[in-house]
Structure 1
């Protein structure tokens, strides 16, 4: 996936979280990514390579929000 991720992005993962949600919010970027489940607020840290392989699509990009 050729995408620059930023804090606040909402992504859909390939596998479902045990709570039933597939949507996660990116809360930290770098060599490791920290993501928060939007279903139950559980937070997970993943290495960049595993994160990029696990993504199905970007639902909402933080860049799409127009800032005044």
Structure 2
């Protein structure tokens, strides 16, 4: 899955978070990607390779102008 991700994008992950939400907001991009759960606001940092493998789809894209 080759996607371009932007700050503020909301993505759906393959696995559900323990709070019940599958949607996460991207809050930092780089070699590691920091995402915030849309259900409980928990913040998690993942390596980019694991993040790209676990993303199911982009729910809301925040394309910069």
TM over 0.5: yes
Poorly superposed stretches of 4+, deviation over 3 Å? none
5 Å-filtered alignment, 1:1-68, equals: 1-63=1-63
Of structures 1 and 2, the larger Rg is shown by 1
* Cα distance in 2, alignment partners of residues 11 and 50 from structure 1: 14
Question: Alignment length, in residue pairs?
Answer: 65
Question: What are structure 2's unaligned runs of at least 5 residues?
Answer: none
CA RMSD of aligned residues (A): 1.1
TM normalised by structure 1 equals 0.91
Question: What are structure 1's unaligned runs of at least 5 residues?
Answer: none
